[in-house]
Amino acid sequence: MAAPSTLKEIRERVQVDLDLQEEVFILDAEINNFINDGIREAEAEILTVGPELQNYFLTKKTLDTVAGQAEYKVPSDMYADKIRSMTYNESGFNIHKITPVRDLQDIPYLNLSGQNNRNYQYVFTQALKGTRLNLFPTPDRTTTGGAITIWYVRNARSLETDTDVCDIPEFVNFIIQYAKVECMKKEGHPNLGVVMGDFEKQRELMINTLRNRIIDDENEIQPDMRFYADTMYE
């Protein structure tokens, strides 16, 4: 049987496992909330197991500059302001990395450096809890075609409609188990302890799966080449 992937399929799996198909005490909307809470829990585990795992959610978007506009919206699905890198490429002209401002006191001078100089390099700051980024110097031209590329860590997708698909499919069982625990808490179910134990096993399995995704350059035994080194000069 295929693993559930949509909100409807995940909710129905929870309902079948707990015999809630005819239940009126726990509504579909509540189970949906539990499922999304489980997604947030899985998201937090993925992003805290190790810094290498942030690449699990790595994605990119592009934006264009507008002449005279310094402030731009960051992608709406960015997780905790985590910009990994930004680059500028105006149709092959003035290609460079866009780096964070090192000292806010430099901002007046950064804007001056852009005047009458098409080869300046942008730097940026984030403000208002990361919902905006500011480019310095202020762009003096409008670009098209996505001159700026932002690589960032995204959020796991929340499931709002029945046809929305979970975008962390490896961990659907963890999400299902999370929702089952929350349902049983609300019911005061006598077997809650058993299901919570199963949930912690799913958490452990997820963490081990994540750790095994981390690339380790030390997992290969280097061949002993000393024989060849010794005989080359005989």
Q: Domain residue spans in the chain?
A: 56-154
Question: Mean pLDDT over all residues of the chain?
Answer: 83
Q: Say how many Å lie between the first and final Cα of the chain, rounded.
A: 65
Cα–Cα distance, 194 to 21 (Å, whole number): 21
Q: What pLDDT score does 50 carry? A: 66
Query: pTM, whole model, 2 decimals?
Result: 0.77
Element (H, E) at 59: strand 58-63
What residues in the chain have per-residue pLDDT under 70?
1, 50-54, 106-119, 127-130, 213-234
pLDDT in tens, 160-204: 999 999 999 999 999 999 999 999 999 888 889 999 999 999 999
